[in-house]
Amino acid sequence: MCNLKRKRKILKSNTKNMAATLPELCLHLILKELERDWKARYTCILINRHWCISAVPELWKDPFSFCLESGQKERYVQLMDSYIKCLSQEFQKSIGLDSTVKAVFNYTSFLRKIWLNDICTTIKVWLDSKILEETVKVSALLEKKTVFMIFKALCENLIINSTCIEGIYLIEHQIINIFELTQAEENLSNITCLSCIIEGDKVGYLPTLLLSASKILTNLKEITIIWINDNTPLDLCVKNMAQLIKNQRRLEDITISCLDSDFPIIWKSVLEHRNVLTNLYLNLIHFNETDPFPLHELSIFSNLQQLEITYCNNFKFSIDEIDLSSSFQKLNKISIIMDEGKEIPLGFIKVLLKQSNEKIKELTLLTLTLSFGDPKTKDILSCCKEYCTKLIELNYSIDIFYINLFLSYLNTLKYLEILSLNYLGYDGEDLLILIGENLPKSIINLTLNFENYLYLNYLLNLFKICKKKEIKFKMLDFSNCSYFNDVHISLLIIYYGNGQLDKLYLGNKKNFTKKSIEDIEYHVGFVKFSDCHVKYQLPDIDYSELY
């Protein structure tokens, strides 16, 4: 019955009895286990000097993600306070700060992920708070200039001092070209991850930045392109991104979401990595109806292991264009999610399943539709039953018309550990009983995305069957079941209390009383609600005014 709060308390109370030091490997494993528990990690730095020196770099490798998760403005201000103290005394004096206080650690040296827009916006939030406190005296006219000065100085400091930068994350408007700063060519050349997100038409220095990046970054393993820019092509960005992709020595992972008019130029560069690319994700691309995307072209990626096609449309497929002796035979993960009314050729799905055969370990087949009885569903299920028999993870939209075929397939998956089911229908009782009766004993994680109300006795029957079959759940996810309330929590505690569950995901916190929340957090190791209140988020700023 040990939850996270109790774990932290036990950890703190036992520190006096701990050995003064532990091998670095042990500390590394402990900190990795606490990767998503920032408070527990912070407790580690209080144990002794040895633990502190090991824990601080872990806490500071991606502090912006921690601030985002905390949803507290003061966390961003505290973060920037520490970063500003890492800048030179001369610079601090130039912006009117007391430079006598130095940072305990050189925090900038630990950063692994550079979120440029978050850094800039956090500086603006920090400066506004300091002006309000009258800690810094800057006129409104000079405030924007000061933000730019601090941003540039901090980026230079990060590039010079950080020895382990892994990725750079760009979100639309850029006010400086980070690849032209001091020592950028030397210290950024080994970055392995680049993410570029555009939501609109304001890009600032982004085209120039991508051009510089194409000359410096040649060791990228992962590139993410998410360009949601209405109907305005990003000609220079597209051209420079295509060159950047082309210049990579061993690109393994790429995500593309863009206009269909921008796609061909980018895709041409991606095709040059046909022998090394392992993961390909296509998302929200509405290909031209008169020139649909040829799915058979994917077969040229000889080492493709993960393929994801989500919310795209307008395809064509020809099996005659595929070499069946080698194509898709290394796939271990397939994810296909389609909107209502959008289709992907059945022949393509069948080829994927047949060619990957027993190597496929993770499968997602979701159709966001209320219509049932599509004959293609029967063909896909029959194909899954024949070829995909060693799945570890399955995410599937239930078509009640073919429920018996699905259940017979589910019953054959002896290695299945993770199951997520989507169902938009209304008849839930018999369905839950049937699912419970056919669940493999190997299941440890179960997610139910059922839109309509599940009466308590429906869930009770499911839990009874699973207990009788000795299914030992470690994670249950009802976060999309908005009707869950205190009574459902009481049932969960009866069947899976006393520390049996490691993780539990529930819906809006406002649906539960304080007593029920306390009870479930006592009985389950980790409980996460989809909170009703909006946490603090960094504000939008007009970057064009900063330079």
pLDDT digits (tens, 9 = 90+) for 355-364: 998 899 999 9
Residues 438 and 521 in one domain: yes
Give the mean model confidence (pLDDT) for residues 119-124: 93
Residue whose C-alpha is closest to residue 158's, from 109, 216, 124, 104: 109
Q: Specify which of 163-167, 327-331, 456-460 reaches the highest per-range mean pLDDT.
A: 327-331
Assigned token pair, 452: 């309509």
Structure token digits, residue 249 = 């020595």
Residue 33 belongs to some domain of the structure: yes
Same domain for 110 and 27: no
Locus of tokens 């295509």: 242
Distance CA 199, CA 190 (A): 28
The yes-or-no verdict on residue 485 having pLDDT over 60 is yes
Task: Give the angle subtended at the CA of 305 by the CAs of 301 and 307, to the nearest 5°.
Answer: 80
pLDDT tens-digit series, residues 166-214:
999 998 788 899 999 989 999 999 999 999 998 877 787 889 999 999 9
Reported as a pLDDT band with limits 50, 70 and 90, residue 11 is low
Q: With 90 as the cut, is the pLDDT of residue 36 above it?
A: no
Task: Kindly tell me if the per-residue pLDDT of 154 is higher than 80.
Answer: yes
The position carrying tokens 């494993």 is 29
Return the pLDDT at 489.
93
CA atoms of 462 and 431, how far apart (whole Å):
10
From 103, 136, 165, give the residue that closes a domain: 165
Q: Is the pLDDT score of 21 beyond 70?
A: no
Q: Residue 450's beta-bridge partner residues? A: 423
Q: In this structure, what are the phi and psi dihedrals at residue 273, rounded to the nearest 5 degrees?
A: -105, 30
Q: Let me know whether 120 and 147 are in one domain.
A: yes
Provide the pLDDT for residue 100: 72
For residue 23, name the pLDDT band (cuts at 50, 70, 90): confident
Instruction: Among 117, 140, 165, identify where a domain stops.
Output: 165
Any domain includes 29: yes
Residue 67 and residue 55 share a domain: no
Q: Which of 35-44, 52-61, 192-201, 454-463 has the lowest mean pLDDT?
A: 35-44
How far apart are the C-alpha atoms of 245 and 223, rounded to whole Å? 8
**Rg of the chain, C-alpha, whole Å:** 26
**More confident: 41 or 339:** 339
Q: Are residues 40 and 71 in the same domain?
A: no
Q: Which domain holds residue 53?
A: 4-59
Task: Report d(CA 181, CA 216) in Å as an integer.
Answer: 12
Domain termination residue (choose one: 165, 196, 211): 165
C-beta of residue 299 within 8 angstroms of C-beta of residue 327: yes
Q: Are residues 25 and 105 in the same domain?
A: no
Whether 193 is covered by a domain: the verdict is: no
67 & 55 share domain: no
pLDDT over 90 at 441, yes or no = yes
Average pLDDT over residues 338-361: 90
What is the rounded average pLDDT for all residues in the chain? 87
Alpha-carbon distance of 412 to 544, in angstroms, equals 58
Evaluate if residue 517 carries a pLDDT over 90: yes
Instruction: Look at residue 28 and tell me if it is in a domain.
Output: yes
Highest mean pLDDT range out of 12-16, 238-242, 426-430? Answer: 238-242
Task: Out of 4-8, 39-43, 386-390, pick the least confident.
Answer: 4-8
Residues contacting 526, CB < 8 A, separation 6+: 3, 4, 502, 503, 504
Structure pTM? 0.88
Residues 24 and 113 reside in one and the same domain: no
- Residue 539 placed within a domain: no
- Both 87 and 31 in one domain: the answer is no
CA distance 357 to 400: 26
Task: Supply the DSSP string of 401-433, one letter for each residue.
Answer: GGHHHHHHHHTT-TT--EEEEEE--S--HHHHH
Residue 368 covered by a domain: no
Q: Are 147 and 175 in contact (CB under 8 A)?
A: no
Residue 515 lies in a domain: yes
Q: Does the pLDDT of residue 348 top 90, yes or no?
A: yes
Q: Work out the pLDDT band at 233, boundaries 50, 70, 90.
A: low
**Within this chain, do residues 52 and 144 fall inside the same structural domain, yes or no?**
no
Same domain, 147 and 71: yes
User: Total structural domains in the chain?
Assistant: 3
3-class DSSP state of 114: strand
Residues 41 and 131 in one domain: no
pLDDT at 368 (0 to 100): 59
> Mean pLDDT across the stretch 342-365?
92
The proportion of the chain whose per-residue pLDDT surpasses 70, expressed as a percent, equals: 89
268 belongs to a structural domain: no
Amino acid letter for position 230? D
The pLDDT of 512-535, averaged and rounded, is: 85
